[in-house]
Amino acid sequence: MLIYRRNVDPASKAGKSIMLVLVVLGALFLIAALVFLVLKSNRLKGMERTRAIIIDHDEYSTSTLVSYRVNGKVYRYCFSEYSSSDRIGDTISVAYDKNAPDHPYRTGFMAYFVSVMFAFFGFVFSLVGWIGLRTFHRKPKEEKVPWELT
């Protein structure tokens, strides 16, 4: 990975190390995003879907209270996720297990929000680290000594 060279300044070695850490951290974030995406997709696969009405939300505690109907019975559930676009009276899509309809999962963008955030940070960290490694990997210009200038 990092090869020791005699005439390499410590700042360059530290810079390479930091950039390598960013690339590894970015890769870990991307792997985590993929894991969260697969887990959420598998959880939502095969579930029933219905529409829920937002009846209350608290932007300070980041919770949203919804009401939805399954087989004629009305359920209420408080999601811990809150989106600034949530308005009282709006309808959202929820998925539920037909054996336990009292515990729904939010679908749509909010269902995959964690995966999207991990993927975004993973991409940024990897990109910055990779560009930094490419920058530090350049060969330094050889300076000519005065007797070679002629």
- Tens of pLDDT along 26-84? 999 999 999 999 998 888 888 999 999 999 887 676 788 999 999 999 999 998 876 77
Beta strands in 5-150 (DSSP E): 48-58, 63-70, 73-79, 91-97, 100-106
150 assigned to some structural domain: no
Side-chain half-sphere CA neighbours of 38 within 13 A: 6
143 assigned to some structural domain: no
3 assigned to some structural domain: no
**Which tens digit of pLDDT belongs to each residue from 81-113?**
767 777 889 998 999 998 889 989 888 877 888
Number of domains the chain contains:
1
Domain span at 122: 10-137
DSSP state of 96: E
1 assigned to some structural domain: no
**For the chain, percent helix, then strand, then coil, each to nearest 5?**
45, 25, 30
142 assigned to some structural domain: no
144 assigned to some structural domain: no
148 assigned to some structural domain: no
pLDDT at 149 over 60: no
108 assigned to some structural domain: yes
In this prediction the pTM is 0.66
